[in-house]
Structure 1
């Protein structure tokens, strides 16, 4: 996709929008396959990462020295909840204000994992949000493949067509309590079926102690990538011919036939 086409498909900025280096949507999986401890670790990972000096320094190093962030939690179709509305981060105080809004929760998400619905929902959050970013990114976490809603590749490609980058945090820990939908090599699934756009990448979490480090590393990379460049704003999503992007839907279909 050319830069001109990508920009044409992106939403127009308003005259009074605040210019920022990056508009970042944090889309966090809270489906029931994530147990309470894992959900708490994930939330605390985002809280600590947003407050970390490495993240603050990355933000300050940009042309504008500020980014805009929103945080929502998701599970099945029509199960998305914004926890932190769009907020500006430009210093430790504003970073702490965002992190403080990510409060612990004792509630589970709904059944099902709809990455496709959540990507489509995340893309709408960029519209009329009061910011004009040099770069638009969705940062999506998850511990399983898409198994509800529309096909994930269709949703991904529609989002990427708007000039939005999708990065992934596949969570590969112990088998979930609802392991009928688990797959091997979830990181490869995310790489081949979920992420897309310019410079898209995944960072897998394979142990609980890695949550904070992985989230912090991903935030620093995403912020550092939000720089002016003379290359297309959106590139083809990475693909692998051996990845079945309908594996989650097929697993759910077989379980319903039992």
Structure 2
């Protein structure tokens, strides 16, 4: 009798995510969206609206429904510095047009402000741990990182990438290569090459650069379709290439050279 009572008590003491069987999905998708101070309020809104439009788009919903299981799980997290990650949409099941629309409405209900610094390594570490505590089990796990600059805080991005890949997680990149005063001072002109050489990794990993903000919504939609359907990765643009000896600490070095500027992103 005492054993039965002890087991009953233990069962209800465990978190729901431990007690319940995980929900099977085609892909667990972690959307990591840059909100560092180099992003203007208008650009932050464009990002939210771009993802909202894509996740409620009939073509994206059809791709989800056409998967082996016919549903995905995703979370939308905004990030900046090493310990600056904000969950906007917690892990959510997308299995219908209504579910996609609900996420879209959550993304556009309000708009956030920017935060300081840029730590791609920090959000990769955060994302990798987030897969372990959700209530889903996917045929694939994907981290989708968008950003307008290189890593400049936290541990080296190559170390974080290696740890993520060791867990069997794919990292895709959406480098934002728009031009303004902030990008000229704090960004790098070959951000797409940086993402290719230093950030992405794993089976089918790809880089999809955004060269102007009017391309953003279409780029997000294309990227989501590729990730959800596990279609062959697009070839990198001709202007970038995988290069031995690429300096993956360029962001840290640029930050160090401008360390006395207190308004830095």
- TM-score under structure 2 normalisation? 0.84
Q: Which runs of 5+ in 1 are unaligned?
A: 1-12, 228-237
Following TM superposition, by how much is the alpha carbon of 1:257 offset from its aligned partner in structure 2, in angstroms?
6.4
Alignment check: 8 A CA contact 1:193 1:239 kept = no
Query: Aligned with 1:71: secondary structure?
Result: strand
1:112-123 superposed matches below 5 A: 112-123=117-128
1:114-193 superposed matches below 5 A: 114-177=119-182, 179-193=184-198
Alignment check: 8 A CA contact 2:148 2:183 kept = no
Alignment check: 8 A CA contact 1:136 1:164 kept = yes
Inter-partner Cα distance in structure 2 for 1:123 and 1:61: 26
- Cα 1:109–1:157 change in 2 (3 A) is same
Bigger relative contact order, structure 1 or 2 (CA pairs below 8 A, ≥6 apart): 1
Following TM superposition, by how much is the alpha carbon of 1:177 offset from its aligned partner in structure 2, in angstroms?
3.0
Asked if 1:60 corresponds to 2:65, the answer is yes
Following TM superposition, by how much is the alpha carbon of 1:50 offset from its aligned partner in structure 2, in angstroms?
0.4
Selected match of 1:204 from 209, 231, 236: 209
Aligned to 2:25: 20
Aligned to 2:35: 30
Pair member with larger Rg: 2
Q: Which runs of 5+ in 2 are unaligned?
A: 1-17, 233-240
Aligned to 2:85: 80
- Cα 1:176–1:72 change in 2 (3 A) is farther
Instruction: Show CA shifts across 1:100-132 (max 9, x none).
Output: 211365543222100000110011110131111
Instruction: Show CA shifts across 1:82-103 (max 9, x none).
Output: 0001110111011111222113
Give the RMSD, CA atoms, in angstroms: 2.0
Aligned to 1:5: none
Inter-partner Cα distance in structure 1 for 2:220 and 2:89: 17
Aligned to 2:99: 94
Following TM superposition, by how much is the alpha carbon of 1:168 offset from its aligned partner in structure 2, in angstroms?
0.5
Aligned to 1:247: 250
- TM-score under structure 1 normalisation? 0.86
Inter-partner Cα distance in structure 2 for 1:45 and 1:190: 21
